[in-house]
Homo-oligomer: A and B are copies of this chain.
Amino acid sequence: MANDFDLSRFLPYALNQAAEATSVGFQKYYRQKYGMLRTEWRVLFHLGQYGAMTAKELCARASLHKTKVSRAVQALERKRFLSRTTQEHDRRYETLALTRQGQDVYADLYEAARKYDADLSSHFSPQEREILNRCLERIARI
């Protein structure tokens, strides 16, 4: 089994390992403090960063399946972090928006994320970090 190509350098594997390693650490912020799941956190962040939008838009932006979004939205609504308003001109759509409380939670988690990311960044040179970002963005588009 002469290997030039190593499992640890196989991109899907290496990315998953890295993603898992960083995600586990951040989980404790949204999970312990607010009882949120990963998808809920993502939905909250998207609404916090980009403002109110429909579930469909959210699916497209976040590359999430509509059932996952549907369930996350229900959960966030139960927690009173998010409200929905059926659109008048087409009653199939509903606008999702953070409540006041949801915005507070977002602000809190946003700060936690910023710090967490800064901690991670300290392991890299600015050049590495920039290239890493660039590469990840490119991969996500494939």
Contact = CB atoms under 8 A, between A and B. Distances in A.
Is chain A's binding surface mostly helix, strand, loop or mixed? helix
A42 interface: yes
Nearest to A110: B5
Given A12-B22, A20-B63, A22-B11, A138 B117 contact: no
Nearest to A106: B1
A131 B9 CA distance: 12
Interface residues of A, number: 52
Interface string A20-34: 111101100000000
Contacts of A14: 133, 136-137, 140
A108 interface: no
Nearest to A120: B11
B139 A21 contact: yes
A60 interface: no
A113 B7 CA distance: 9
A128 B135 contact: yes
A8 interface: yes
Contact of A10 (B20, B113, B132, B135): B113
Interface string A73-88: 0000000000000000
Interface string A105-142: 00000100110110011011001100111111111111
Contacts of A20: 63
